[in-house]
Structure 1
């Protein structure tokens, strides 16, 4: 199966609901996308509405979605978030990078990251940044995609009492 990418899709009610379902499924499968499992769609909607507000005509953020070409099913997504500060306009922060658990292990995450890099280069951006929750092996995945660790805040993310994880910043130089 292959992925079809869409940048800045129409964020109508159907896609919004699909994004929230994806986000909930990813979180409940152990993904680190802003919540700790278990989470409900109602809980995710509150954060999703804030994320959606920055996307759309005249807004500074962008959404990249990946659908399975054959089925049309939403397989993954990420947001390009502007820092909304002129001196940082030469790079973007990737947020909510996720691939549905049903599709993990097929290389879709690497495809999503490669498409994000291609889009960023087409815009003339010089670099991309993302943060991740330590302890899940994500540094190795992003490293294979060409990213380097740029910083780490120890024990900054409390997943549960006695389970603190590092907040890791990854950087991709596009120059």
Structure 2
């Protein structure tokens, strides 16, 4: 597992873009509609480098060589009254790598890094009924509620979304 700085996001942007496009093609609701072209996915990842450089986003990736098999991010809150929390974003595992514990390892990496950064409350949203819900529930995340018609699936159908949160041990911030 590697934490990517801004240069790393740019270096691995192609592999990250392939992962994003494959994830959307596989039906995962991660904010994009199908079909998602590689150029659009690549541009999206390249734009994230600025957020990483500014400390607003932390990104981890895992893979074999230049092929990215999984990624996860933490979007840090910018408001002074919210610096104790972050949003877990874009947890994606390549379809060929699923079922091997990579999603759980990515999740654990993000949680550990959050604690080290002084973040003790994480939140996320995921499509209700998606396979990701099992991972979050089994990793101790608590559902806060479901919002109907929150986001469109890759096929463009409005779907409910469940909001989850997880309290982590509080520490002194290091970010």
TM-score bracket, normalised by the shorter chain, equals 0.7 to 0.9
Residue 173 of structure 1: how far off its partner (Å): 0.6
Contact 1:27 1:37 in 2 (8 A): yes
Tell me, in whole angstroms, the C-alpha distance in 2 between the residues paired with 1:148 and 1:36. 27
For 1:112, what is the secondary structure of its paired residue?
A: helix
Contact 1:135 1:165 in 2 (8 A): no
Moved over 6 A (4+): none
Within-5 A mapping of 1:6-155: 6-9=2-5, 10-11=7-8, 13-56=10-53, 58-68=54-64, 71=65, 73-155=67-149
Contact 2:146 2:161 in 1 (8 A): yes
TM-score (structure 1 length as normaliser) = 0.85
Structure 1: segments with no counterpart, 5+ residues = none
Task: Assess, with a 3 A threshold, how the Cα gap between structure 1 residues 92 and 46 changes in structure 2: closer, same or farther.
Answer: same
TM-score (structure 2 length as normaliser) = 0.85
Q: What is the aligned-residue RMSD (CA, Å)? A: 2.0
